[in-house]
C-alpha cells in the first residue's frame, strides 16, 4: 500500500505543476535497476553507447563530437540489453501514479521516452530556464495559448542518488512569464544562479523519490561534475494526446521502437503501450525540434 494519499497527488500536481512521490521502485527491482544504470553509464562514458546527451547542447539534436555526457538516451533500446528498465517503466507502482495524474486508464497509456540523467565527469554546466515545448521568445499571447493546451502526458525524474539539480517555478505551467521572468529566460544563456529567477524553488529528491512535473513548467537544472547523479528520467502519455504530443516525443528519434526485437522484450502491458506510440509515429510526418539549441 502506498504511504501517501494518491488522490491528493493530482490536485497538487495540477496546482503546482509538480509533485514528489516516494517508493515507486519495488525493493526486488532496485538492485537490477542499479546494476543496469551502472552498465549503461559506463558504456556511455567509455563511448560504446552512442545515444547520449552531450555537454554543450541542451536539447536535441546533440553534438556527438563532444566527449562529456549529461544523459544516457533510450535506455529501453534493445541494443543496450537492459530489460530492467522496461520492467520498471511498465510496473504497477509507476503506472498507477501516472494513471492518477493523467486521469486515464492503464489501457490508454503510450510508451514514450526513457533516459538517464547523469553527472558529467569533467564539465559542470547548467540547462537554461525553459519550458520543454514553448520557445523562449514566445510572446505572452503565444505562451498563454501554448500553456492552455493539455498534452495528456507527464514527465518525471526518479533519483537513485540524492538529487538537487532541478529548479522549477511552481504554478508557472499555467501562466505566461512575468517581464522579470522573461528577462531571465529569453536567451540561450544558462543561469548564473537559478534562484535569481522570481518564484524559483530547488527540487530536492532523496534516493527513491520521484518528481512528476508538467514539462511546460518553467524549469532549469544545474549539473555538477563532482556530485554523482543517477536519475531515471522518463515520460508517458495517453492516446487522447494524439498528434499534440508528437513533436515533443518523436523529436528524440524513436524509430528503433518499431523493431520486432524490441517488442519481444516486452510483457503484454508493454506491448500494448508500444503499439500505441507506434501508431502515433505512423500517423504524423516530419516533426522537427521543439526548442533551439545553444
Ligand X SMILES: O=C(O)CCC(=O)C(=O)O
What residues make contact with ligand X under the rule CB under 6 A?
117, 127, 132, 157, 165-166, 219, 221
C-beta of 32: minimal distance to ligand X in Å? 23
DSSP for residue 244: G
Q: Which residue number, 41 or 221, has a Cβ lying nearer to ligand X?
A: 221
Residue 242: CB atoms within 10 A of its CB come to: 15
Cα–Cα dist 176/183, whole Å: 13
C-beta of 128: minimal distance to ligand X in Å? 9
C-beta of 52: minimal distance to ligand X in Å? 13
C-beta of 261: minimal distance to ligand X in Å? 27
State the Rg of the chain over Cα.
18
3-state secondary structure of 254: coil
Q: Which residue number, 117 or 249, has a Cβ lying nearer to ligand X?
A: 117
Cα–Cα dist 215/153, whole Å: 9
Cα–Cα dist 93/84, whole Å: 14
Q: Which residue number, 119 or 265, has a Cβ lying nearer to ligand X?
A: 119
E-strand spans in 137-209?
153-159, 166-168, 201-202
C-beta of 279: minimal distance to ligand X in Å? 25
Q: Which residue number, 185 or 265, has a Cβ lying nearer to ligand X?
A: 185
C-beta of 105: minimal distance to ligand X in Å? 27
Closest Cα partner for 126 from 226, 219, 221, 229?
221
Q: Which residue number, 117 or 274, has a Cβ lying nearer to ligand X?
A: 117
Q: Which residue number, 216 or 265, has a Cβ lying nearer to ligand X?
A: 216
261 by Cβ neighbours in 10 Å (0-12 / 13-18 / 19+) ranks as exposed
Q: What are the beta bridge partners of residue 222?
A: 126
C-beta of 156: minimal distance to ligand X in Å? 10
CB 164, CB 202: distance < 8 Å: yes
Cα–Cα dist 119/138, whole Å: 31
User: Which cell numbers in the block locate residue 265?
Assistant: 522484450
Q: Which residue number, 169 or 266, has a Cβ lying nearer to ligand X?
A: 169
Cα of first residue to Cα of last residue in the chain, in angstroms, is 45
Q: What are the beta bridge partners of residue 242?
A: none
Cα–Cα dist 111/252, whole Å: 13
The residue whose Cβ lies closest to ligand X is: 221
C-beta of 115: minimal distance to ligand X in Å? 8
Q: Which residue number, 62 or 85, has a Cβ lying nearer to ligand X?
A: 62
Amino acid at each position: 500500500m502506498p504511504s501517501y494519499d494518491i488522490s491528493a497527488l493530482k490536485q497538487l500536481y495540477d496546482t503546482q505543476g509538480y509533485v514528489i512521490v516516494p517508493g515507486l521502485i519495488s525493493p526486488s527491482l532496485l538492485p537490477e535497476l542499479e546494476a543496469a544504470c551502472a552498465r549503461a553509464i559506463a558504456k556511455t562514458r567509455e563511448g560504446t553507447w552512442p545515444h547520449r546527451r552531450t555537454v554543450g547542447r541542451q536539447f536535441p539534436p546533440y553534438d556527438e563530437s563532444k566527449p562529456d555526457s549529461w544523459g544516457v538516451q533510450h535506455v529501453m533500446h534493445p541494443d543496450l540489453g537492459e530489460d530492467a528498465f522496461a520492467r520498471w517503466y511498465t510496473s504497477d507502482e509507476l503506472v498507477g501514479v501516472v494513471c492518477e495524474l493523467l486521469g486515464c486508464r492503464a489501457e490508454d497509456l503510450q510508451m514514450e521516452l526513457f533516459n538517464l540523467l547523469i553527472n558529467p565527469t569533467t564539465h559542470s554546466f547548467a540547462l537554461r530556464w525553459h519550458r520543454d515545448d514553448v520557445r523562449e521568445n514566445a510572446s505572452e499571447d503565444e505562451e498563454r495559448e501554448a500553456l492552455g493546451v493539455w498534452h495528456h502526458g507527464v514527465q518525471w525524474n526518479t533519483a537513485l542518488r540524492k538529487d538537487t539539480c532541478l529548479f522549477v517555478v511552481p504554478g508557472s505551467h499555467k501562466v505566461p512569464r512575468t517581464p522579470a521572468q522573461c528577462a531571465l529566460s529569453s536567451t540561450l544563456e544558462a543561469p548564473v544562479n537559478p534562484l535569481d529567477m522570481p518564484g524559483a524553488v530547488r527540487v530536492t529528491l532523496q534516493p527513491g523519490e520521484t518528481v512528476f512535473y508538467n514539462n511546460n513548467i518553467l524549469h532549469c537544472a544545474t549539473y555538477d561534475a563532482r556530485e554523482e547523479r543517477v536519475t531515471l528520467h522518463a515520460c508517458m502519455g495517453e492516446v487522447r494526446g494524439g498528434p499534440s504530443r508528437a513533436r515533443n516525443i518523436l523529436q528524440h528519434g524513436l524509430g528503433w521502437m518499431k523493431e520486432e526485437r524490441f517488442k519481444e522484450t516486452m510483457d503484454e502491458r508493454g506491448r500494448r503501450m508500444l503499439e500505441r506510440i507506434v501508431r502515433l509515429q505512423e500517423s504524423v510526418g516530419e516533426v522537427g525540434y521543439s526548442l533551439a539549441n545553444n
